[in-house]
Amino acid sequence: MKRVAVIGVGLTKFGELWETSFSQLFVEAGAMAINDAGIDGSDIDALYVGNMSGGRFVDQEHISCLIADHAGLAPIPATRVEAACASGGLAIRQGVMSILSGFHDIVVVGGVEKMTDVVTEKTTQTLATASDSEWEAFMGMTFPGLYALIARRHMHEYGTTREQLAMVSVKNHENAIHNPYAQFHSKITVEDVLRSPLVADPLRLLDCSPITDGAACVVLASEEKAREFVDNPVYITGSGQASSTIALHDRKKITVTDATVNAAKEAYARAKREPRDIQVAEVHDAFTIGEILAIEGLGFVEIGKGGKATEEGETAIGGRIPVNTSGGLKAKGHPVGATGVAQVVEIVLQLRGEAGKRQVDADVGLTHNVGGSGGTAVVHILEK
């Protein structure tokens, strides 16, 4: 496909941001991205916003309008994009397609979620709406419960160990220490994970991404237009998206996320790249087992070998393929609608050489964002 340039990035601190409202979050990240791109508000043709559940989290729908209004961007067209936890990645893809279609030259893509305005039970229930409401959630299933089913089966089929799952969390917490925007800056050990309270066996609290407020934003531009504003943009060279069954019980095999495999296949083909070309990746570790499924489904390691690869340090900074240098969803935080956009922000910072103490040497990076238990997956490939 033709390349689309990322000319500006921005994000808020991730965490429990009790003093900041939903729309303030977006405006903060948006202003940072627009400033970074060196564009003026009047240069922007359209806005796409990834958001999972403004309606349940802050009693606000019609958030595309709210954000365009509060960011001072009206009357440009604003569109909300929703695919549960993959909303952000999907918003990026909508922005890319709107530029490639020739409709727009400069597009702002943001993602935002405000999760701490409601009690934890409501948050838990809202996340469960990403599953099949009538045949999973109704039966008493929870979102961590679905990933626990996958984790148990993965351990059964491939011999993945409880400790290997914990190592994903340990690695991502270590990476987050060097990310000033991350929710957590604390080193943890395998023992800490194994001693944390059980949420849904075999998954424990420290296997699960936290409840987070946050926003992220990027400015996308056509290659021609990008040159007017920046010298060395990072380019999105591949994009892939795939759907699977919404319910886990309808998948023939639960230990391979087929939506990830299919989205990756499309993204690699469009970018004319292969898994071995990828030098840094941000993947969807909403639960530790999620990162193992991701690195397997994306082709970084063989199916079933994700736990072992993690244990051997292949995915650590300094390893063969550093994964989640930002701290990932686990330690950077997971404001669901913002996550897919924040992943792109991290890869852009890495490819620009602006990732500080977590910097890796890379020219080609990848982002991978999942909705629900694997019903939607979005993959992007970025290059210098």
Partner 1 sequence: MSSIPRFWRNMKSRYNLIGKRCTRCGEIYFPPRNFCSNCRRRGELEEVQLSGKGEVVSYTVIRTPPEGFERQAPYVMALVKLDEGVMVTTQIVDVSPEEVEIGMRVESVFRKIQEDGEAGLIYYGFKFRPAKEE
Query: CA-based angle 124:82:225, to the nearest 5?
Result: 135
Residue 161 lies near partner 1 (rule: CB under 8 A): no
Query: Where does residue 97 rank: exposed (0-12), middle (13-18), buried (19+ CB within 10 A)?
Result: middle
**One residue of 25, 137, 351, 381 binding partner 1 per CB under 8 A:** 137
Residue 149 lies near partner 1 (rule: CB under 8 A): yes
Q: How many helices (H) and strands (E) does the chain have?
A: 14, 11
Least distance to partner 1, CB of residue 250, Å: 7
Catalytic residue among 173, 284, 334, 368: 334
Q: Which is nearer to partner 1, 79 or 245 (CB)?
A: 245
DSSP single-letter state for residue 213: B
Catalytic residue among 85, 173, 208, 380: 85
Q: Which is nearer to partner 1, 153 or 273 (CB)?
A: 153
If you count them, how many residues does the chain have? 384
Q: Which is nearer to partner 1, 45 or 157 (CB)?
A: 157
Applying the rule CB under 8 A, the residues between 184 and 203 that interact with partner 1 are 197-203
Q: What is the DSSP string of 111-171?
A: EEE--TTS-HHHHHHHHHTTS-TTTTGGGT--HHHHHHHHHHHHHHHH---HHHHHHHHHH
Query: Where does residue 273 rank: exposed (0-12), middle (13-18), buried (19+ CB within 10 A)?
Result: middle
Stretch that binds partner 1, among 51-59, 121-129, 292-300, 329-337 (CB under 8 A): 121-129
Least distance to partner 1, CB of residue 152, Å: 5
Residue 152 lies near partner 1 (rule: CB under 8 A): yes
Stretch that binds partner 1, among 162-170, 181-189, 241-249, 289-297 (CB under 8 A): 241-249
C-alpha–C-alpha distance, residues 288 and 167, integer Å: 8
Q: What is the CA radius of gyration of the chain?
A: 19
Residues 6+ apart with CB under 8 A from 380: 89, 92, 93, 96, 236, 238, 239, 240, 267, 344, 366, 367
Least distance to partner 1, CB of residue 287, Å: 12
Contact 214, 239 (CB under 8 A): no
Least distance to partner 1, CB of residue 243, Å: 12
**One residue of 220, 254, 336, 355 binding partner 1 per CB under 8 A:** 254
**One residue of 139, 186, 189, 313 binding partner 1 per CB under 8 A:** 139
Q: Which is nearer to partner 1, 3 or 251 (CB)?
A: 251
Residue 182 lies near partner 1 (rule: CB under 8 A): no
Beta strand ranges found along the chain (DSSP E): 4-11, 46-50, 78-81, 106-113, 198-200, 203-204, 214-222, 234-243, 280-282, 364-371, 376-383
Report how far Cα 339 is from the mean position of its chain's Cα atoms: 4
Least distance to partner 1, CB of residue 249, Å: 4
> Total binding residues for partner 1 by CB under 8 A?
34
Q: What are the residues facing 8 on neighbouring strands? A: 219
Least distance to partner 1, CB of residue 211, Å: 12
> Could you confirm whether 62 is annotated as catalytic?
no
Within 10 Å of residue 357's Cβ, how many Cβ atoms? 10
Residue 307 lies near partner 1 (rule: CB under 8 A): no
Residue 136 lies near partner 1 (rule: CB under 8 A): yes
> Could you confirm whether 85 is annotated as catalytic?
yes
Contact 22, 62 (CB under 8 A): no
Stretch that binds partner 1, among 23-31, 63-71, 110-118, 138-146 (CB under 8 A): 138-146
Residues 6+ apart with CB under 8 A from 70: 23, 26, 27
Q: Would you call the peptide bond into 75 cis, given omega within 30 degrees of 0 as the criterion?
A: yes
Q: Which is nearer to partner 1, 102 or 252 (CB)?
A: 252
Q: Which is nearer to partner 1, 103 or 135 (CB)?
A: 135
Q: Which is nearer to partner 1, 51 or 123 (CB)?
A: 123
Residues binding partner 1 (CB under 8 A): 121, 124-125, 128, 132, 134-142, 144-145, 148-150, 152-153, 156, 197-203, 247-250, 254
Active site positions, annotated: 85, 334
